[in-house]
Amino acid sequence: MSNPSLLILPGDGIGPEVMAEVRRIIDWLGAKRGVTFDVSEDLVGGCAYDKYGTPLHDDTMAKAQEVDAVLLGAVGGPQYDNLDFSVKPERGLLRLRKEMDLYANLRPAQCFDALADFSSLKKDVVAGLDIMIVRELTGGVYFGEPRGIFKEGNERVGINTQRYTESEIERVARSAFELARKRNNKVCSMEKANVMESGVLWREVVQKIRDTEYPDVALSHMYADNGAMQLVRWPKQFDVIVTDNLFGDILSDCAAMLTGSLGMLPSASLGAPMANGRPKALYEPVHGSAPDIAGQGKANPIACILSFAMALRYSFDMGEDATRIEQAVEKVLADGVRTADLMGPEGGVPVSTSGMGDAILAALDASL
């Protein structure tokens, strides 16, 4: 049997620095756990534009379609701000999502006990928080037609169209229910059925999928604006939240800040199963390319490392190793090891990007 294949796209800014620490984890798995991957590496984003004149070369796109999973660092930087919209670094990421048909975006929001004081909310509200937002990623108002800026009479009008088919809603709902079965068997679906027909359809379809295929999973419905309020009021009432592209974009960023640092948060984007049964998948940290600290050894690699742990769990059925990595991160944080973004009033042991990698590898060694 061939080794599982992984395409690494470090990208721009701090992407190469945080991805270097993931490469060390991959090497550790090979040396200490006998788990080996066929790893290839390529360019995406601004660095791809610099070399090829496009943020994602066709050959790179073809590789992404062939491998078992793609791991991406971050894209973008101020030097690309004046590029034409069609070749901006972010278009490379959007092309990956669209052509791989990655329709379910998994955004966990987990608050490690050692970092509960970093949240803007009270410690008792966020300590122990562990929720998952499942955002539909390839439909909705970001992709619906008609769209554009048009002239109407004497003024311009901007148009975007919220559009969902039943099948688009069904497949992301199934993703949420399947996840819930592996967690606490509870899903909250969020839309705006009170004012949007697409929301009415969303609610009806999600309820139908639950009733016919997942009767063991508890399902509730909530208007998305109330959902945003409830996330900052008492987030631990939720387990899995499923929602559309626009609301998912907003709600997942809101949930991200409950945990105190964007540098801590991974994500996964999953598509339909391939011939080998694994879903097409792209894993990436939630944070951006942070060009202001790039190359300085200040970046926090934890979100990228936890994104790789998600890949182990969801693409490679290596849940034990995923948990081992997550627990190593938790131990390091409990020991007070801190990159610059995690240094609070109580202090800690300041480390560089590679220093955080050293500490996590040491914790992994201790776990054996």
The domain ranges of the chain are 1-110+261-368, 130-258
Look at the pTM and tell me if it is higher than 0.85.
Answer: yes
pLDDT, averaged across the chain: 94
Cα→Cα distances 17→97, 292, 304, 352, Å: 23, 13, 10, 11
Across residues 312-330, what is the average pLDDT? 94
Does the pLDDT value for residue 76 go beyond 80?
yes
Q: What does the pLDDT read at residue 123? A: 87
The pLDDT assigned to 231 comes to 95
The whole-angstrom separation of Cα 270 and Cα 307 is: 13
Q: Span 279-299, mean pLDDT?
A: 94
Fold of 130-258: Isopropylmalate Dehydrogenase (3.40.718)
Of the chain, the percentage scoring pLDDT greater than 70 comes to: 99
Give the pLDDT score at 277: 81
Which architecture characterizes domain 1-110+261-368 according to CATH?
A: 3-Layer(aba) Sandwich (3.40)
Q: What is the pLDDT of residue 1?
A: 65
Q: How many CB atoms lie within 10 A of CB 301?
A: 28
pLDDT(364) > 80 = yes
Whether pLDDT at 95 is above 70: yes
pLDDT at 12 over 90: yes
Residues near 274 by Cβ (< 8 Å), separated by ≥ 6?
A: 68, 280
Strand partners, 267: 284
Query: Long-range contacts made by residues 354-358, C-beta under 8 angstroms, separation at least 24?
Result: 354/20, 354/21, 354/297, 356/21, 356/300, 356/301, 356/302, 356/332, 357/20, 357/21, 357/24, 357/25, 357/301, 357/305
Q: Which residues are catalytic?
A: 142, 192, 225, 249, 253
Question: CB–CB of 7/282 below 8 Å?
Answer: no
pLDDT band at 276 (very low <50, low <70, confident <90, very high): confident
Answer whether residue 118 shows pLDDT above 70: yes
| The dihedral sign for the CA sequence 305, 309, 311, 312 | positive
pLDDT beyond 70 at 120: yes
pLDDT surpassing 90 at residue 221: yes
HEC sequence for the chain: CCCCEEEEEEECCCHHHHHHHHHHHHHHHHHHHCCCCEEEECCCCHHHHHHHCCCCCHHHHHHHHHCCEEEEEECCCHHHCCCCHHHCHHHHHHHHHHHCCCCEEEEEEECCHHHHHHCCCCHHHHCCCEEEEEEECCCHHHCCCCCEEEEECCEEEEECCCCCCHHHHHHHHHHHHHHHHCCCCEEEEEECCCCCHHHHHHHHHHHHHHHHHCCCCEEEEEEHHHHHHHHHHCHHHCCEEEECHHHHHHHHHHHHHHCCCHHHCEEEEEEEECCCCCEEEEEEECCCCCCCCCCCCCCCCHHHHHHHHHHHHHCCCCHHHHHHHHHHHHHHHHCCEECHHHCECCECEECCHHHHHHHHHHHHHHHC
* Cα 19 from Cα 126, distance rounded (Å): 29
Instruction: Report, as an integer, the average pLDDT of 161-175.
Output: 97
Would the pLDDT of 36 be above 70?
A: yes
**Percentage with pLDDT > 90 across the chain:** 82
Residue 262 has a pLDDT of 67
In the predicted model, what is the mean pLDDT of residues 177-199? Answer: 96
